[in-house]
Amino acid sequence: MSEELTTVYFVQHARPDYSWEDDRSMPLTVEGEADAVVVAEVLKDVSFDFCISSPYMRTRQTIKPICDQKKLTLKIDERLKERVRGELGNQGDELQRQRWLDFDFHEPLGESMNSLQKRNISALTDILSQHIGQTILFSTHGAALSAILNFYDDKFGYQNFKRLEMFTPYILKVTFGTNQKVIAQNEVLVIDKSKGLD
């Protein structure tokens, strides 16, 4: 009996407007909206059975063109939201590095990587259990996706996270076996914004 494989296309959102104060409603920039169309073009030949996203505006906007094109019903899961930023915000390599060195570390009123990972994996585990053998579109964030990838491969660390941070948007295709183990993964789209940073 052959193993039923489940395919997840993880889409890290396109570039948002970082001047926006509210993290949850932060929209994409005009450039980000254009890149969302690129995401749709790259995925146009993929048949999706299920589509889910973080509740944040930027993740929903990134996959809106492909959802509209394919008439997909978008499900939202609160567990997929980005790491909760604390009083010190998300700034500084030192804070980011500390979070990766100690998964229980968090700034005042912020969220640890451990908490971020647990809720994202909880959601992903439910999705994989309910959609065995299907192809899933999964719109997410940089830290959230990095936490997921670290769960399946503990060698995925701070430097890997910093690499992904530059890719907005980014698509990673991951194939899971029926035991929810990663069988294969392949980068489908990498749009590197590091050269455009001030």
Across the strands, what pairs with 108? Answer: none
Show the CA angle centred on residue 172, arms to residues 175 and 32, nearest 5°: 150
Distance (Å, whole) CA 169 – CA 8:
16
- Which of 182, 189, 136 has its CA nearest to residue 167? 189
For the annotated binding site, the residues are 58
Position 28: which residue type?
A: L
Position 86: which residue type?
A: G
Torsion of CA 44, 68, 82, 92, to 10 degrees: 70
Q: How many other CB atoms are found less than 10 A from the CB of residue 64?
A: 20
For the annotated binding site for substrate, the residues are 58
Write out the DSSP string of 29-64.
PHHHHHHHHHHHHHTTT---SEEEE-SSHHHHHHHH
